[in-house]
Amino acid sequence: MTLSSKLSKLSKLSSIAAMALAAAAGAAHAETYEGVHPLTSAESRADVAAGGVVAARIGNPYATGVDAGPMHAPVAANSREAVRAEAVATARNADPYAEGASSGVAPIAAGAVDRATVRAEAYAAARGHALPL
């Protein structure tokens, strides 16, 4: 046997011995897991089983769409007659979707400034004169 083979065997034996010592030291200081809370229950097994049956029959509270089951009819805040009267009034309007220029003739509003003053200010602005503030 050569010196290098003796050294390799010695290093293997020393690494095995070191791992055995580490395992023995780890086993000596091992802890047990007690859980977050101690297990205490005020209900009997029969009560828990009955609650499980009830919860299983309720269905999936997180289901959506078809899986959600039957829908319940919404409860209206208005009476049927009030909704019908509003629908008739809306149907008799000229165009319920009209906005802006297509909504009809705008009422003429009386301005606070007369026409001659507006014309004079427009003329002055066109000529580059400063307008009084």
Q: What are the average pLDDT values for consecutive 10-residue runs of the chain, which has 133 residues? A: 68 78 64 72 86 82 74 77 87 70 61 81 81 60
C-alpha 4, offset from chain centre: 68
**Residue 122 pLDDT:** 86
Residue 3 has what pLDDT? 65
The confidence score (pLDDT) of residue 104 equals: 61
Distances (CA, A) of 109 to 7, 117, 127: 109, 17, 29
The pTM score is 0.23
Q: Where are the alpha helices (DSSP H) in the chain?
A: 3-28, 45-58, 80-91, 115-127
Residues 54 and 42: their CA atoms lie apart, in Å, by: 19
Cβ neighbors of 130 (< 8 A, separation 6 or more) are 124
